[in-house]
Structure 1
Amino acid sequence: MKIEIVSIAKKEKSIYDPLYKDLTKMISRFAKVTDNEIFPKDVAKSHTISPEASQRAYTKALNPYIGKDFIVSMHPDGKLIDSFEFSKLLDGKMSIKFFIGGAYGFENDFLKQSDAVISLSKLTMSHKIAKAVLLEQIYRGFSILSNHPYHK
């Protein structure tokens, strides 16, 4: 299985990098994970204009990453699911792309292209924390599917 995480984020070193690396290694038993952080100039400029302009810029930046994969967008107003429901998102898929939006979230036109729109929590979190939570849930989901005791 192939998993790709695409997020609106500046590529920079982070204190979370070792955690991402560890979780990605754990997941590698089940799937290959790639991580794309994108932050084109249009996105930076749009942040000085308005939230709506920012959302449009996110859609423009992310649309090239939409393909025939199963698309899951992380959105605060998305469906709150538990780890067992999350594992069902992974089950039987060949390729999944997870999208993490920028500071202003996604516009509805982008969300309509998604196969699933989920929320990781009712709490607001930075994209760096969201990515850590997402990676952990991906590993937990595969553990559930393979009856590995990690999820208990």
Structure 2
Amino acid sequence: MNIDIISIAKKERSTYNPLYKELTKMISRFAKVQDIEIFSKDVAKSHTISPSASKQAYTKAFEPYKSKGFCISLHPKGKLIDSFEFSKLLNDKMSIKFFIGGAYGLEEDFLKNSNAVISLGNITMSHKIAKAVLLEQIYRGFSILSNHPYHK
């Protein structure tokens, strides 16, 4: 299985990188994870215009990645699910793409065209922390599917 995590984020060194690397290594026995961070000139420029322009720029940046695979968007107003429901999203898929929008979220049309829209919780967290939580839940989900004791 291939899992892509596509986010609107500046490519920069982060204190979270060792955690991402460790979680990706743990997941590697189940799937290959690719972390794709996008912060084009169009995205940067849109942030100076308006939230609506920003959302449009995010959609445009994500379009090349939406073609194949099961697409899951992360959104604060998405469905709140537990780890067992999350594991079902991973089950029997060849390719999954997780989308993490930018500071202004995602356009309604983008969300409607996603196979699933989920929320990681009611609290607000930075994109860097959201990615760490997502990676941990991916590992936990695979652990549930394979009856590995990690999830208990």
TM-score, normalised via structure 1 length: 0.99
2:96 alignment counterpart: 96
Runs of 4+ with >2 A deviation: none
Question: For each residue in 1:102-148, what CA deviation from the matched residue of structure 2 results, as whole angstroms up to 9, or x when unmatched?
Answer: 00000011111200000001111111000000000000000000000
Structure 1 counterpart of 2:48, which letter? Answer: T
- Measure, in 2, the Cα distance between the counterparts of 1:98 and 1:12: 20
* Corresponding residue SS for 1:63: helix
TM-score, normalised via structure 2 length: 0.99
Q: Does structure 1 residue 52 correspond to structure 2 residue 60?
A: no
> Aligned ranges for residues 1-152 of structure 1 at < 5 Å?
1-152=1-152
Aligned length, in residue pairs: 152
- Measure, in 2, the Cα distance between the counterparts of 1:81 and 1:3: 19
- Measure, in 1, the Cα distance between the counterparts of 2:15 and 2:28: 21
- Measure, in 1, the Cα distance between the counterparts of 2:49 and 2:57: 11
Structure 2 counterpart of 1:119, which letter? Answer: S
CA shift, 1:7, in A, is 0.2
* Corresponding residue SS for 1:71: strand
User: Which ranges of structure 1 fall in alignment gaps of 5 or more residues?
Assistant: none
- Measure, in 1, the Cα distance between the counterparts of 2:21 and 2:101: 21
* Corresponding residue SS for 1:122: coil
- Measure, in 2, the Cα distance between the counterparts of 1:9 and 1:114: 20
CA shift, 1:68, in A, is 2.0
CA root-mean-square deviation: 0.5
- Measure, in 1, the Cα distance between the counterparts of 2:136 and 2:80: 16
CA shift, 1:45, in A, is 0.7
- Measure, in 1, the Cα distance between the counterparts of 2:126 and 2:46: 19
